[in-house]
């Protein structure tokens, strides 16, 4: 069912009725749940992982696509191992509590979400830049040692 509105030019403009975020069908009447930017039929409001009906008053996480995740299926923090019951910071497949999202080198909380993720962990920009400079310095020292050794070897 669509609703027609007329604009100032007396032209009919069609506006769609809301659709359920779960089943994509039009929401006409009955019980609905509004969560984040989405709206669901009551019977469609399910966890995106386990697909069980979830109570709208329980602790839920909101995925990027607007779908809920129930407390049982919630992510565990990669840093502390505890269940995340509020805002999660995702880095690929890893989730963190906002307070646990810290640089592995200086332990400062990364508030601006500007970071570098390596196989060793997450680094703030300052520590990552310092690591890069240290690696370059070590590489240059190795190259200088190789040159010095080859110069000595050519003397004999």
What is the C-alpha separation between 82 and 88, in angstroms, rounded? 12
Read off the DSSP letter of residue 43. G
Task: State the CATH number of the domain containing residue 5.
Answer: 2.10.110.10
What is the C-alpha separation between 96 and 87, in angstroms, rounded? 9
The domain in which residue 44 lies consists of: 1-57
What is the C-alpha separation between 142 and 149, in angstroms, rounded? 11
Pairing state of beta strands 94-97 and 88-91? antiparallel
Q: Residue 13 — pLDDT band, cuts 50, 70, 90?
A: very low
Residue 28 lies in a domain: yes
For the whole model, what pTM was predicted? 0.57
Per-residue pLDDT of 22-74, as tens digits, reads 899 998 877 888 888 888 898 999 998 899 998 766 777 777 788 888 888 88
Residue-averaged pLDDT of the chain: 80
Domain count, the chain: 1
pLDDT at 7: 40
pLDDT at residue 94 tops 60: yes
pLDDT at 17: 79
């Amino acid at each position: 069912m669509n609703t027609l509105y007329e604009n100032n030019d007396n032209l009919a403009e069609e506006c769609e009725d809301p659709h359920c975020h779960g089943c994509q069908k039009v929401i006409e009447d009955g019980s609905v749940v509004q969560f984040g930017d989405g709206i669901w039929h009551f019977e469609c409001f399910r966890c995106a992982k386990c697909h069980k009906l979830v109570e709208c008053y329980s602790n839920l996480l909101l995925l990027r696509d607007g779908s809920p995740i129930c407390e049982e299926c919630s992510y565990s923090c990669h840093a502390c191992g505890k269940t995340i019951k509020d805002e999660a910071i995702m880095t690929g497949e890893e989730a963190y509590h906002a307070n646990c999202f810290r640089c592995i080198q200086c332990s400062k909380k990364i508030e601006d979400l500007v970071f570098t993720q390596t196989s060793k962990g997450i680094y703030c920009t300052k520590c990552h830049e310092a690591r890069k400079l240290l690696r370059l310095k070590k590489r240059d020292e190795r190259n200088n040692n190789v040159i010095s050794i080859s110069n000595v070897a050519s003397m004999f």
